[in-house]
Structure 1
Amino acid sequence: MARAPIIAHADMDAFYVEAELLDKPQLHGQKVIVAGEGRSVVLSASYPARADGVHSAMPLSRAMRLSPDSTVLPPQMSRYRELSAGIMAYFDTLTERKEQLSVDEAFLDLTGAVRRLGTAAQMAAMIRRDIRAQFSLPVSVGIADRKFIAKIASTHAKPDGMFLVPPEERLRFLHSLPVTALWGVGGKTAEALHRMGLRTVDQLAATPRETLRRRFGVSGEHLHDLAWGHDPRQVEPVRAEKSIGAEDTFAVDISSTQQLSTELLRLSHRVAARLRAAGLGASGVSLKLRWSDFSTLSRSATLAHPTQSGSQLHQHAAALLHALGERPQAVRLIGVRAERLSTDDGALQLSLTDAGEDAHQEERLAAERALDAVAGRFPTVSAGPASLLKRPPASPEGSAGADG
């Protein structure tokens, strides 16, 4: 008889805060927020601050109204990445089947490690003990035979604990949860389910599959499957990056189209540099705007050829901005994202009809690659489009994933 899968979800607790406390032990047990300067968002909050209602991605101004006695620390992203690399390398010693979700969480398929490392409970305890010993950081571990249940279990384990769901307990555990615990149930879906009288997973499981399909389409069938613990997704050791983006929050809301276009140019070149570093090309680009009332709009476009060129990304992003026409509000945040990525490096096949334009694009891309070389050799030298060199950047909006 085949062994039931043993899938762990390891999630670092308040990772950015805990990383900061390594150097600031006097703040242990205090209200601490990690966020950038000015009008940024919360990247991480200690559990005492969370008790005041503070959470990741919340505007810092609102967080300080909720928890005015919190200590705000600036992020040290290089430090977090260094710690993350060490933690992920440790996970690699446990299993070859690791699926990293972000800097602070990963799925681990430990099915093949039982003889070497012990039972599921012993492995969860070992992970917590080793992470504490090697990195002085807390981690919560959930273990189940399904990925999505392991992730739910790690949430139940927080902070700094472990939670195991044996296969024979899977349905009893699932059916005790609210529908919002399931993957894919966001605010709008939850509202729709609540209007149907479905507030718990057991109520969802008891609803005919066809009823859910008529109301939610294929997503309804998927929710019904999850409610019964059916999920064929495996731990994927290699996750292809689906998009690369950058966004900035302004210190003061912007109405000027020229200023917005300039920021789009900066962001487009930042994204393009990351594409080139990763050896990827983008066949799509999207524009993100957040208005002064915090509502958000996004628009996207498809490119004729994959590109690594910042000027091309900017051309399409600026066209999306222009197509919006008169804007109803000033802009608080602007972002650019390269999408539909592939290993195509953006080199063009010159056509007879557009040979001149294609050649011009190749020249621009070559110039941008030359700037990459300059930046790599002289990190302190500012190199980029001339229109950007005298203009200070906007305040960076935290774009790391939600911090556990």
Structure 2
Amino acid sequence: MRKIIHVDMDAFYASVEQRDDPALRGKPLAVGGSAKRGVVAAASYEARNFGVKSAMPGVTARRRCPELLFVKPRFEVYRAVSRQLHAIFARYTDLIEPLSLDEAYLDVTADIAGVGSATAIAEAIRRDIRKELRLTASAGVSYNKFIAKVASDQNKPDGVFVVRPGDGADFVATLPARRFYGVGPKTAERMSALGIETGADIRGQPLEFLERHFGKSAHYLYHASRGQDDRAVKSDRERKSIGGERTYTEDLQADQALRDALEHIIDIVWERIDRNNARGRTVTLKVKYADFQQITRARSVSPPVDTREDFEQLSRALLEALLPVAKGVRLLGLTLSSLEPAQERETVGESGVAESGPVQESLAF
């Protein structure tokens, strides 16, 4: 029985900006974008109260919140804080699987710090974050990754939610279907048309029904709806690609709006590439139009892309080849693939010990 914690920082970029500039505290804040153009990268909780969200055009955000303040992102600062965050994690476990700068899975089955329980470890981590980084984090504690991640959202911001093994299936049964991985708005609509609104509704369907309607996602939905997820926390995983995408609340069509949106995605994806010390030969641009038609455009180069300038040039060239667009764009994404094996690079971006080996002690929840 694993003991897994999912830690997720609260409004990370915005909280760092508010921490470092007292004049921003308690005010609605958007990181990235502007009142005239660009896209919001992150929003403070004060801004979220007005309906401002990440990936929202700056014009829309200002319309929803006239008092909204915009600041430019400082990714070098966020990366530095993330390194401090991971140093805190490492006090309590060697098994850390980063998902982004501000969230990670931790396997604390072996109580290497002698804290006594998974819940106590989650609280200790949150105390360390508050004391040393002057930021807040939320955590989900459970016996598998799926439930731990969902649980970390239950008491946000600045909260902990624990789902013990005997409670997992009942907890999942109450979840809206849209809380399951991969269930976006269109899939949620399809589920609703089939009478599926909750985890209990998914669990009530035979596997054959799920396969017929949801294809490759069927097995995941079948097991997750029963509170089952056998994936291990992998601190030494080898990535096949690194990317990111954003869906926009309002379709983008103007050339400059699309260029601004692409710059935001370049920032996000390059941060991930840089953190993983990755080098790859193929850059792919993904575009989904307002009518849900989806296209990709890719370019491969040799030697591999290993500087931000190279990544920017390739990404921009792929977009420019599509401009002007004849219809609105609802999603943009970038991916770097054909990555070199870790051993061919100077250092490995995500290091850690393998999961195998004896467990020191069975840790309580």
TM-score (norm 2): 0.76
Mapped to 2, the partners of 1:316 and 1:160 lie a distance apart of: 37
**What SS does structure 2 have at the residue aligned with 1:40?**
coil
1:63 Cα deviation from its structure 2 partner: 0.7
1:221 aligned to which of 219, 223, 241? 219
Of 97, 114, 117, 1:99 maps to: 97
Q: Report deviation, 1:295.
A: 7.9
Q: Counterparts of 1:314 and 1:43 in 2: how far apart (Å)? A: 21
**The one of 180, 183, 188 aligned to 2:181:** 183
Q: How many residues align?
A: 327
Higher helix proportion: 1
> SS state of the match for residue 93, structure 1?
coil
Q: Which runs of 4+ in 1 moved over 3 A?
A: 239-247, 252-255, 288-291, 293-298, 300-322, 324-327, 329-337
Q: 3-state DSSP class of the match of 1:163?
A: strand
Residue number in structure 2 paired with 1:18: 15
Amino acid at match of 1:165: V
In the alignment, what sits opposite 2:339? 341
2: distance between equivalents of 1:113 and 1:28? 37
Larger mean Cα displacement after TM superposition, 12-21 or 28-37: 28-37
Match for residue 31 of structure 2 among 34, 37, 40: 34
Question: Aligned partners of 1:253 and 1:325: how far apart in 2?
Answer: 9
Assess, with a 3 A threshold, how the Cα gap between structure 1 residues 289 and 197 changes in structure 2: closer, same or farther.
closer
* Alignment partners' CA distance in 2, 1:206 and 1:334: 35
Preserved contact between residue 5 and residue 111 of structure 1 (Cα < 8 Å): yes
Q: Which runs of 5+ in 2 are unaligned?
A: 246-252, 345-365
The aligned residue for residue 255 of structure 2 is 254
Q: 1:6 aligns with which of 3, 21, 24?
A: 3
CA drift at 1:92: 1.3
Deviates more, 1:325-334 or 1:125-134: 325-334
Aligned partners of 2:316 and 2:88: how far apart in 1?
A: 40
SS in 2 for 1:22: helix
Shift of 1:216: 1.6
Q: CA deviation at 1:314?
A: 7.1
Describe the superposition over 1:142-194 as per-residue Cα deviations: whole angstroms up to 9, x where unpaired: 10001010000000020101000011111111111111111121112111111
Question: For the residues of structure 2 that align with 1:229 and 1:28, how far apart are their CA atoms?
Answer: 39
Amino acid at match of 2:280: G
Partner residue, 1:48: 46
C-alpha distance after superposition, 1:217-254 (max 9, x if no partner): 2312221111011211111102434435699xxxx943
Residue 339 of structure 2 aligns to which amino acid in structure 1? L
Structure 1 residues 137 and 69 mapped into 2: Cα distance closer, same or farther (>3 Å)? same
Aligned to 1:280: 279
User: What secondary structure does 1:156 align onto?
Assistant: coil
Deviation at 1:73, TM superposition (A): 2.0
* CA distance 1:342–1:167, shift in 2 (3 Å): same
Which among 157, 171, 176 is matched to residue 159 of structure 1?
Answer: 157
- Residue 206 of structure 2 is matched in structure 1 by 208
Q: In the alignment, residue 79 of structure 1 is paired with which amino acid?
A: V
Percent of aligned pairs sharing the same letter = 37
Q: Give the conservation status (yes or no) of the 8 Å contact 1:12–1:140.
A: yes
Query: 1:48-99: CA deviations, max 9, x gaps?
Result: 2111111111111111111111222222211111111110111112111000
Question: Contact 2:298–2:318 at 8 Å: present in 1 too?
Answer: no
The match for 1:370 is none
Residue 149 of structure 2 is aligned to residue 148 of structure 1: no
Task: Write the distance in 2 (CA, Å) between the matches of 1:174 and 1:330.
Answer: 37
* Paired position in structure 2 for 1:352: none
- Answer yes or no: is 1:73 the counterpart of 2:71: yes
CA distance in structure 2 between the partners assigned to 1:74 and 1:313 by the alignment: 18
> Cα deviations across residues 282-311 of structure 1 (Å, max 9, x unaligned)?
2x43234588x8988541448597844888
SS of residue matched to 1:140: strand
Q: Which residue of 2 aligns with 1:397?
A: none
Match of 2:7, as an amino acid?
A
The amino acid across from 1:127 in the alignment is: I
| 1:213 counterpart letter in structure 2 | E
Instruction: Return closer, same or farther for 1:198/1:306 CA change in 2, 3 Å cut-off.
Output: farther
CA distance in 2, matches of 1:134, 1:312: 35
Structure 1 unaligned runs (5+)? 347-404
* Residues 34, 228 of structure 1: alpha-carbon distance in 2 compared, 3 angstrom cutoff: same
Letter in 1 for 2:279: L
1:129 Cα offset (Å):
0.8
Q: What corresponds to 1:232 in structure 2?
A: 230
For residues 363-395 of structure 1, give each alpha carbon's deviation from its aligned partner in whole angstroms, at most 9, with x where no partner exists: xxxxxxxxxxxxxxxxxxxxxxxxxxxxxxxxx
Which has the greater radius of gyration? Answer: 1
